[in-house]
Each structure stands twice: as C-alpha cells, then as structure tokens.
Structure 1
Amino acid sequence: MRDPLTEMQLQVNRRQFFGRSSTGIGVAALASLLNRDLFAKETAGDATRVGGLPGIPHFAPKAKRVIYLLQSGAPSQVDLLDHKPSLEKLHMTELPDSIRKGQRLTGMTAGQKKFPVVKSPWKFRQHGESGTWLSDLLPHMGKVADDICVINSMHTEAINHDPAITFFQSGHQQPGRPSIGAWLSYGLGSETENLPSFVVLLSKNSFFQAQPLYDRLWGSGFLSSKYQGVKFRSQGDPVLYLSDPAGGSDSQRRTMLDRLAKLNQLRAEEIGDPEINARIAQYEMAYRMQTSVPELADISNESASTLELYGDDVKEPGTHAANCLLARRLAERGVRFIQVFHRGWDHHSNVQKYLPDLAKQTDQGSAALIADLKQRGMLDETLVIWGGEFGRTVYSQGNPKTFGRDHHPRCFSIWMAGGGIKPGITYGQTDDYCYNITENPVHVHDFHATILHCLGINHERLTYRFQGRDYRLTDVHGTVVKDIIT
C-alpha cells in the first residue's frame, strides 16, 4: 500500500499537469451531458452535429458519411474487377522477368522456380450504359454498374496482411495511429447523440479461412478513446451489457449514472486526466444506446421488397447482407462512419473453389446497399467503398491446376460509389499481365485524401499534435484524385 504522498507524485505526470488547465472544459462537458439542451448548436454552424472541430468541414462536402465494406484477405482483382482479355493468349506462359522487375515476393512464392500465368476461369461482361467490365462472379453488382467507379490502379507498399490492412485503416503500417473512422469522428463529430459516430460490423463467412481482425484496426490511437469504433455483435445484444440487470429500473440506472458522473468529475479535477471525461461521455452514450440500438437492430419494419433486394441472407444476423442493411439503417440514423469487415479472401490455393463462395456471400448485399441508398435519396451524400488491403498475383502459387494467387501490392482494384464520386467510370490501367500500373496510379495516401475531400476536409489540415509533432491520416503524403470526383 503506497503512502498518499507517493500516490500523488505518481498521479502528477506531465500530461496530467497540463491536463489540469482544461478542468473547466471538463466541467462544461459534464454539464452538456447532463443537460444536452445547454449546448444544442455546434460552433461549426451545423445545428444537427454532435461534436467535431470548429471550422470543419473546410469546404462544402459532397458526402456526409461513409460506409466502408472492407474485404479482409485481399480479393483477386484478376478474377473480379480488372478485365484482362490478353491473358487468354498468355495463359500458362512464364511471367517474364521484365514484368516482375525484381519485385519482392512473399515467403510463400519466393522459392518457386516457375511463375506460370493463369487466366481467370470466369468470364467478364460489360454492364449498364457505362459498359463497366465485371466478372460473372458479380452478377448483382452488374445491376448497379452505372453507379460505381472502379479503380484498377490502386497500389500499396505492404506485402503482408497485417501491415497492409493497418495501412489502409490508419495511413501507417505500424500499429498505434488513429483509424480513419476515429479521425472522422474527431474532425466531423456525429449527426446523432443516440449512437456512436463510428460503428464496426464483422460479417461471418461460411468457412474458416480468415485473417485475424484486431480491435486496434478501429482504435483511436493517440486520440481520445471516445473516437474509437464501437463493435456491434451479431448474436445476443449488439453491444455487451447493453441491457440492465434483472430487477433494475431505468430510473435506478439514471440515478446511478448521474452519481457516477459526479464522482468521475471529482477525480478528473483531482488528477486532470482527460480520459476520465471521455469515460463520462461513453457512459452517457451507452445509456442512450439502450433505447436506440434495439430499435436499430429490429428489421421487422422493413418492407418485403427491401428484404428481397438484400436476399435470403439478410434475415440471418451477421451475414454480409444483414450487415449491409444494418449499415444503411445506421447511416440514416446519423452515424458518421460505418465499417463492415468481411474476412476469408486470402486464397493461396484452390481459388476456383473458394472465390465463388466469397463472391456469392458479398455480391448481392453490396449491390443492394447501393440500390437501397439510391432509392431513398441517400446515395449522393453517402460514400460507399468496397475493397481489400492489396491484390493477388496473375501467376499461380503452387499447382496451376488447383491454382492459388499470392499477395500483390503493385496493382489491385477497389470500387467507390456515391458521395461525390463519378458514377459509371473505370479509372486507371494495368499492363497486359495485370502486374504493373500503366496509367493513373492511386496510392493508399491518395485514397485517404480523396475520402476526406469528399467529406469537405482538406487532408493537410486535419491534424492532431502528439509528442511534439502534428500528425494526420495521410502523414506527409497524399493527393486528391480529382478525376473521379464530380
């Protein structure tokens, strides 16, 4: 047991010392939580916004929110989005060294002596008035081809899954930076006080073959913990401990929270730790979610035509289709950033067996989300993104008869829709081998800069000072891809 003097010395560190100067702000924050009408309007002039920084957005935004369908494991662009008729003639020929150009390979193919090119087993067709090329594995996406922008010239620096997905989530390959959803929560706040500004949904697949997803991928890094993503579960209560214990009443919980907030505020005034104020805010959010989340998760009021649009899987919680519908419901209730993770795209063998299954699990729900947002007049102000952390090789990993595709960061494909993105276009080109970019490369930092631009944010001006340096999502890089913006 430490003596009181030692305890006090341990509590007064440099950050807490300077944090004491913000005690008055903490008192104001507590007052606003307990009497929300006291601070009804935001300094940015948007009366519907909760939180966010003054002066942001920097200019009129195209989008108000983001739904990001992240396909963890890296979908094969060769078999889904990047049509390469040249591979018909190149099939089973050796990938030339002049194309590889000494590229770093993973440990899974670095020892291979031959690199036979393997064409896609599936046909590609043009869809819509735009004539967008899509694989036959994506028949439902073909119905919304005129609403999407396919980018075939994405590239990244990471060649392994964890640094690659961390890069996409935070703009840095090493853990510790805030995720993109946390940056947006910090800068733009939310359009609702009854739900978190950043929600994460994890979809299940029909077989076990998945890269792990860590909570840090939607973490807040060095930002306050109130900006981190809130993960919703697909079974039981969407959020743990959302329900009151048996025998408890709402009035009892309200009294408990009020008294707990006062105790926490006394502690904040004593040691100046800003995370205590974040804890108060999270308790209040959890209280409001007790009412908002059950209503959100209840899809019984959705029309039969809407459920039919998403397909039979929509009735099973945790499927990609169910999470796409839930993402739409979150969006229309004011959540700023919704991220749906779907795992299982890591196909190092037997692509012909596994890829059709994954495409079937995600195709209808993804297309339905776009169609649903559009018919509700929400697509123009909702940015929808689909893609993985890198691409797959055109050459076979292992036996070409039961071929796999290894990691390929040099070029891969994603699609974007709504929220100020030009519809019905294909951007960027790759060579005949789908191995190198030949036109309009788009780096991960450019991708992030473009997302922020659609939301009215100058990516160079959304910063946070930490350990003596101003950090931002795009680090010291990033160029907005203006060619794909309306």
Structure 2
Amino acid sequence: MKKPHICHSPGLPVRCCGRREVLAGASAGFGMLALQALAGGALPQHRTTRARAKNIIFCFMDGGPSHVDTFDPKPMLKKHEGKPIGESAVTKRAQSGAGRVWLGSPWEFRQHGESGLWVSSLLPHTARVADHLCVVRSMVGELPLHGQQNLLLHTGRILGQAPSFGAWVSYGLGTENTSLPGYVVLNNDWVPNGGLENFGSSFLPASHQATMVRARGVPVDNIAPRDAAAVQRRKLALLAAQDADFAARASDANAIEAAIANYETAFRMQSAVPQIADISAEPEHVRRMYGVDATDEHQRFYATQALRARRLVEAGVRFVEITCPSFDGNNSPWDQHGLLKINHEKNARITDQSVAALILDLEQRGLLDETIVLWAGEMGRTPHTPKVTESCGRDHHVNGYSLFMAGGGMRGGMAYGETDEFGNSVTRDPVSIHDIHATLLHQMGVDHERLTYRHGGRDQRLTDVHGRVLSELLA
C-alpha cells in the first residue's frame, strides 16, 4: 500500500489518509472517480506555496547548443583562436586535451533591449525579446554524454528510471482541462538519446506520462472514434466497473487505476486534440509571426508545434514540451562536432523565429505572466576544437553552459552566473538542473521537497536529495 502523505503544519505533523484509503473508506473505486471526471470532477492539487505560474512550455534544444555562440560572449576566444588551450584548461567530465585549440565564435554579440542583455547574431529574433529573458550562464552537468544528460535534464537522474519533469508537474497539479492530458510532447517522429524515459512516468501512475503529438501527418494515432458517443460511454462505464472491481482485489492497483484514467482521458481527447492541433483557424498574421509559411519544411514543422504549444496551455495543459526537427537524420540536431557554422545556423533558422513569436504571443494574450518558457539543451559545447578549419565544430561540454527562462514571474533581461574568460568552466554561481527544477516547481506553487511519491522504500522526488530555489532569478 502506498505510504500516506504527511501534511505539515506550524505545529506537529498530522497524518492524513492516502488517496486509496479515502476511496476505500467511501466504498468508491478509482473507476468511479474517473467516470465522475466526465461530469467535471477535479483531481487533487499539491500546491504548497503561492503560485506565480500555471503552465510550462519547454523548448528542448536537443543536442546542446553552444553557450559561447548564443548567450555567453567570450572575446578572448577570438583573440586566442588557434592557440593550444594548455594543461591548465583541461577539465574533468569534458572532451578536452592540452593539444586542442581555442575556437572563436563566428557570430557577433551585441547588447539588446533596455536591459542590455548580450545575445549573438545567431538568434536575431530571440534577441528582440531580450528583456523577457532570464539567462543562466553557469549551468553544470554531470557527464558529457547525450543520453545521460538528456535523462538528467528530463528526470533529474543520469540513469533515468524516474518520472519526467512533465510527469511530476502533471502528478502534482493535474490538468485544468479534463479533456486534455496534463503533459504533452510536441514531437517530430523520433526518439532522443536516452529513449522514451525522457517523457515517461516511471513509477508514477501511467496517466502522467507524455501524450505525443507529431508535427506532420495525423497529430495523434487512433484518435478518431469508431462508435457514437453514447455507445462509447456505455462501453467505458462497463470497462470502468470491471476494472474497479479488479482493482479493489489487487494488491497494487496503481496500474489499473491509471489505465481507467487513460481510457477516460482518451475518450475526451477525441474531440479536443484535433481541434487544438488544427491551426488553420489562427489569424494569418499570427501564423506568419511563428513562421508557419516558411519555405523550409523543418521550420514549418517547428512553427506549427510552437503555435500548438500556445493553444495547449491556453486550453489548460500544464506542461508542454517541443522537440527540434532533425534535418540530417541526427536525433541530436544541435550536436555539431563539425560544420558548426552551417548547422547551428540551420537549427537557429528552424527554431529562433518561432520561440520569439511564442514569447510575444503569450505576452500579447496576457498569458506570459502565468506561463514559463524554458529554452535549454542537455549540455553546452566546448570553446575549443581539435583544429580550426572551415568545417570544424565543438564537442560536448558540461562544465559550464547556458539556458534561459521567460515569463511566469522570472526576472527578465538578466544574466545569472559566470564562466571564465574562455567559457571553459563556471567561476561564479554554479547551477545544477536540480536547481532549475526546484525553481520552476516553486513558481508553479510546489515545494520540490514535498512533492513526493512513495517508491522503492522511500519518498522519491524530482530533485532527489538536491536542488535549491534560485530566488535571485525571481521577480
């Protein structure tokens, strides 16, 4: 049996009945709760602090964009380009060696907005919303490997085997719209390094795993109903009753309960998902702003997904993730070990306009104050390379890299933390992904230390035993 929650008060802890105890005591199985959701029933909330945000949109820059080519200007790289980095610059957990040479950025950095935030010419559209950006320049990872860093970014564990960030948000806060799931991934028909665990619910109920919506073709498979609504309702009622009876006799009914909830959500999604996925009714100027009319098909795919992301949070979905299209068969599109200039520019052309449009669109609709936009890859890229050539690139780097957040009560127009003069290592205010998770949960009104789930003999949480709220980043 799942361990009951402990509700803390200014006095002594008070034991509260767990969900299963409540349901059992009321002679009502989860199946009845799921059926009641059709009539507008709400799932329990886990808020413990004052919420500044209601939704998160995670723009996942798969593969690791270069920090020294985006938000962390390093003039010393250009000054010393081609010179050996030396033994003193060799760092642990990085692809480095004394014989490698410094590589300057092929893009020019300028200050933008009233804040004067530095952004490179690689991201001209994002530069125009600089005053909304809260840039962290001092991210520190654990291993310079895509799979492990992807899992760390998504689950807080380099080995996975834990729920995704989106699954935790869905579990903790539910969805504001019972016709839609709490966690949606706007994907592009491929699986990132680290596998589907990046989007999974692991030991949380399966109803909190991501629902995948693809960019091209039919957004979601098997979404069209075969029966009339009345027939479906009767079938679901029978199925729920049978499953609830089985769950009452099972030693661990979590999987059965999650299946019932998934049936009900799928039923309601049949009309809601196609309606939200269809962006044809959006005004032409909005479609142009996102880049839906772009000549590059990959940019059109990303623009479509970014616009859908806004529509999803507008409809009440808690957590939406957008992955990048792969234009060369690489499931880590920003992973430029070679051809840095050509392929980083390609990735920027695909995503930059749409990310900036998303932030502006949310602001214009009054949604940015309650929606956090997170822009992050799983790592950065080395400020050095084996040899400077026209086709050279940068390798994996976790000793210092950048990401940004916008909206949802984050301070705009600021850069937090520092790397050294070459962008090689963090020198001030190191930040882990656990700190980012803790801060975003805090903005959603959730204490990361109290959002737990009993599994494996202990209370598990997204941040494990780590993480602090970065109050310096909050408005």
Match of 1:141 in 2: 126
Indicate the larger mover: 267-276 or 335-344: 267-276
Question: Cα distance 1:224–1:87, how it changes in 2: closer, same or farther (>3 A)?
Answer: same
Match of 2:301 among 314, 319, 322: 319
Asked if 2 retains the 8 angstrom alpha-carbon contact of 1:226 and 1:279, the reply is yes
Answering whether residue 419 of structure 2 is matched by residue 440 of structure 1, we say no
Match of 1:225 in 2: 206
Indicate the larger mover: 156-165 or 314-323: 314-323
Question: Shift in Å at residue 23 of structure 1?
Answer: 4.7
TM-score for both structures, normalised by structure 1: 0.87
Asked if 2 retains the 8 angstrom alpha-carbon contact of 1:26 and 1:277, the reply is no
Question: Cα distance 1:259–1:236, how it changes in 2: closer, same or farther (>3 A)?
Answer: farther
Asked if 2 retains the 8 angstrom alpha-carbon contact of 1:153 and 1:427, the reply is yes
Asked if 1 retains the 8 angstrom alpha-carbon contact of 2:372 and 2:406, the reply is yes
Match of 1:329 in 2: 311
Amino acid at match of 2:137: N
Match of 1:464 in 2: 453
Answering whether residue 340 of structure 2 is matched by residue 351 of structure 1, we say yes
Amino acid at match of 1:264: D
| SS of residue matched to 1:66 | strand
Question: Shift in Å at residue 327 of structure 1?
Answer: 0.4
| Offset from partner CA, 1:338-391 (integer Å, 9 cap, x none) | 011124011111112211000110100000000000000000100110010111
TM-score for both structures, normalised by structure 2: 0.89
Match of 1:34 in 2: 35
Match of 1:51 in 2: 43
Question: Matches of 1:298 and 1:153 in 2, distance apart?
Answer: 39
Indicate the larger mover: 423-432 or 324-333: 423-432
Answering whether residue 243 of structure 2 is matched by residue 264 of structure 1, we say yes
| Offset from partner CA, 1:55-109 (integer Å, 9 cap, x none) | x311211111100111111111111111112222111111132232x42444xx6
Matched residues, number? 449
Question: Cα distance 1:397–1:192, how it changes in 2: closer, same or farther (>3 A)?
Answer: farther
Question: Matches of 1:290 and 1:61 in 2, distance apart?
Answer: 31
Match of 2:360 in 1: 371
Equivalence map 1:72-471=2 (5 Å): 72-100=62-90, 102-106=91-95, 114-203=99-188, 211-212=192-193, 214-245=195-226, 248-272=227-251, 273-313=253-293, 319-342=301-324, 343-398=332-387, 400-471=389-460
Question: Cα distance 1:394–1:114, how it changes in 2: closer, same or farther (>3 A)?
Answer: same
Asked if 2 retains the 8 angstrom alpha-carbon contact of 1:69 and 1:339, the reply is yes
Question: Shift in Å at residue 260 of structure 1?
Answer: 1.6
| Offset from partner CA, 1:189-242 (integer Å, 9 cap, x none) | 1111010000011147xxx9x954622111111111111111112234322211
Question: Cα distance 1:379–1:314, how it changes in 2: closer, same or farther (>3 A)?
Answer: farther
| Offset from partner CA, 1:284-323 (integer Å, 9 cap, x none) | 1101001111110121221122112112457969721111
Match of 1:8 in 2: none
Match of 1:47 in 2: none
Alignment RMSD (CA, Å): 2.4
Asked if 2 retains the 8 angstrom alpha-carbon contact of 1:26 and 1:265, the reply is no
Percentage of pairs with the same residue? 40
Question: Cα distance 1:52–1:71, how it changes in 2: closer, same or farther (>3 A)?
Answer: farther
Asked if 2 retains the 8 angstrom alpha-carbon contact of 1:52 and 1:186, the reply is no
Question: Matches of 2:143 and 2:27 in 1, distance apart?
Answer: 41
Match of 2:13 in 1: none
Asked if 2 retains the 8 angstrom alpha-carbon contact of 1:211 and 1:344, the reply is no
Asked if 1 retains the 8 angstrom alpha-carbon contact of 2:93 and 2:399, the reply is no
Question: Cα distance 1:146–1:156, how it changes in 2: closer, same or farther (>3 A)?
Answer: same
Answering whether residue 60 of structure 2 is matched by residue 70 of structure 1, we say yes
Question: Matches of 1:295 and 1:126 in 2, distance apart?
Answer: 41
Question: Matches of 2:406 and 2:427 in 1, distance apart?
Answer: 24
Amino acid at match of 2:62: S
Question: Matches of 1:483 and 1:35 in 2, distance apart?
Answer: 43
Question: Matches of 1:398 and 1:277 in 2, distance apart?
Answer: 57
Question: Matches of 1:374 and 1:359 in 2, distance apart?
Answer: 22
Asked if 2 retains the 8 angstrom alpha-carbon contact of 1:126 and 1:132, the reply is yes
Match of 1:46 in 2: none
Indicate the larger mover: 192-201 or 469-478: 469-478
Question: Shift in Å at residue 482 of structure 1?
Answer: 0.9
Asked if 2 retains the 8 angstrom alpha-carbon contact of 1:313 and 1:322, the reply is no
Question: Cα distance 1:170–1:77, how it changes in 2: closer, same or farther (>3 A)?
Answer: same
| SS of residue matched to 1:415 | strand
Amino acid at match of 1:119: G
Question: Matches of 1:396 and 1:74 in 2, distance apart?
Answer: 16
Match of 2:14 in 1: none
Question: Matches of 2:30 and 2:177 in 1, distance apart?
Answer: 17
Amino acid at match of 1:261: A
Match of 1:9 in 2: none
Runs of 4+ in 1 over 3 A off after TM superposition: 18-26, 35-40, 210-213, 312-318, 397-401
Match of 1:11 in 2: none
Match of 1:6 in 2: none
Match of 2:50 in 1: 60
Asked if 1 retains the 8 angstrom alpha-carbon contact of 2:30 and 2:244, the reply is no
Asked if 2 retains the 8 angstrom alpha-carbon contact of 1:194 and 1:288, the reply is yes
| SS of residue matched to 2:111 | strand
Asked if 2 retains the 8 angstrom alpha-carbon contact of 1:116 and 1:400, the reply is no
Question: Shift in Å at residue 250 of structure 1?
Answer: 2.5
